[in-house]
Structure 1
Amino acid sequence: MHTPMHTDSQLLFLLQLCSSSLPVGAYSYSEGLETLVDYGKIRCSSSLQQWLESELRYGAIGMEAAVMVRVYKAAETNDLETLKYWNQWLSAARETEELRNSSQQMGRALVRLLIELEPKMKEIFEQIGDNCNCGINYAIAFTVAATFFGINLQATLLGYLHSWLVNLVTAGIKLIPLGQTTGQILLKDLQGLLIKTVEQAMAVSDDDLGCCSWGLALASMQHETLYTRLFRS
């Protein structure tokens, strides 16, 4: 897949947007991993890799990337009604309250940060959500920001998926636990699947949007009953 070159400033903003130090609270969510580790379903790097591969191939993250394709095109043409539609669609697709809250809480944090970085974005987000206070999903805010700064679509999707993967691998390192080097090997081994997931997201039709994420939904619902918890989901 060919990705056009960016200017230096665009590349730097993409790196900033994808950084694990971005203050949106991503580190506080495990997306069901904490439950799976506690129940003994994930015990080592190979079982973690299997789970992550399944999520990328069949889970909600691939569907989210496909929605981002539609959001990107709508943001390019300033089609606010379409942006609102896909934001609401993505909220409705969240299968548990924890997953919906994590998406919207991170989205709200990113929106506030982006407005501080670039005040011109305030008007855009106010028209998508409710005065920037609630309801904007993280993937939507991420995509709108990338469009605003001229990041191309493929790079936007790869950056988003990579930041998602880094967050979950980091959670796995803490929970299983694993070594830092093992985590880096996982990230390298999953690069090809990230690229394939982007290609599929670019090609899927509206009628085929969907996912098989019942395992994630069950893990998310059971998370609140764990005896101890490090993460919010």
Structure 2
Amino acid sequence: METTITLTDYHFLSILQLASPALPVGAYSYSEGLETLVENGTISCCQSLEQWITAELRYGSMRLDAAMMARSVAAATRGDIAALRQHNLWLSAVRDTEELRNSSWQMGRSLKQLLGKLQPDTLPLAEAVGNPCNYAIAFGIASAHWQIQPQTALLAYLHSWATNLITAGVKLIPLGQTAGQELLLSLQTLFSNTSQEILNLDDDQLGCCSWGLSLASMQHETQYTRLFRS
């Protein structure tokens, strides 16, 4: 069932900026193992890229990232520093590889620094979380500051993540720009359904099946020729 989300111009423009590919947090430098998967032939076309992204949204670790992001929006809104710290530590602990952990920490650090310049009011809460800070947690703090509802923030977060992977796929496979946009458009219903599922997850349901991503990430650490950092 679709949920109607009403946004003011301020909220709409704020979440557009936060989820923009132009946001200088370094997301463009990561492929989350996609570079390895293309090299070994696991992903070789638009269809196999779509299958990979779909599986990650339905069963993969992105669900954990997104769940912690949504919980961070709620915690930051009520000023619950203890909960934010717990979410951040938990998310760091469930990373399977050093590459994935470092990418999340680097993007989180960059977003915190950017928010400190754009919205200094976010600094006390962001600094209270501690360092390193995962990107999902920083994204949640920013969303709460701009009074973005968790579901809206989730849709933007998932869309931004998929956009980055598709952009990497366009470069690596390679795909045409139009094919990449067609793929992104075809994922809209999945974004909506996934966001609803994530919002309804209890703490004891926070699990994933991401061994494919873990193996790809570990292999990428020693891959001879690399364009991306993960």
What TM-score do you get using the length of structure 1 for normalisation?
A: 0.96
Partner residue of 2:86? 85
Partner residue of 1:231? 228
Give 1:77 shift: 1.0
Aligned counterpart for 1:152 among listed residues 149, 153, 157: 149
Please say if residues 76 and 125 of structure 2, whose CA atoms lie closer than 8 Å, have aligned partners that are also in contact.
no
The residue identity in structure 2 corresponding to 1:214 is: W
Q: CA RMSD in A?
A: 0.9
SS in 1 for 2:120: coil
Please say if residues 27 and 167 of structure 1, whose CA atoms lie closer than 8 Å, have aligned partners that are also in contact.
yes
Matched, 1:200 2:201: no
Q: 1:139-164 CA distances to partner (integer Å, 9 max, x unpaired)?
A: 10001100111111111000000000
- Mark the runs of 5 or more structure 1 residues left unpaired by the alignment: none
User: Partners in 1 of 2:164 and 2:127 — Cα distance?
Assistant: 28
Q: 1:100-144 CA distances to partner (integer Å, 9 max, x unpaired)?
A: 000010000000000100111111111111xxxx31100100011
User: Partners in 1 of 2:49 and 2:70 — Cα distance?
Assistant: 28
Identity of aligned residues (%): 57
The residue identity in structure 2 corresponding to 1:183 is: G
Partner residue of 1:138? 135
Partner residue of 1:168? 165
User: Partners in 2 of 1:20 and 1:69 — Cα distance?
Assistant: 20
The residue identity in structure 2 corresponding to 1:222 is: Q
Size of the aligned set, in residue pairs, is 229
User: Partners in 2 of 1:184 and 1:4 — Cα distance?
Assistant: 24
Partner residue of 2:42? 41
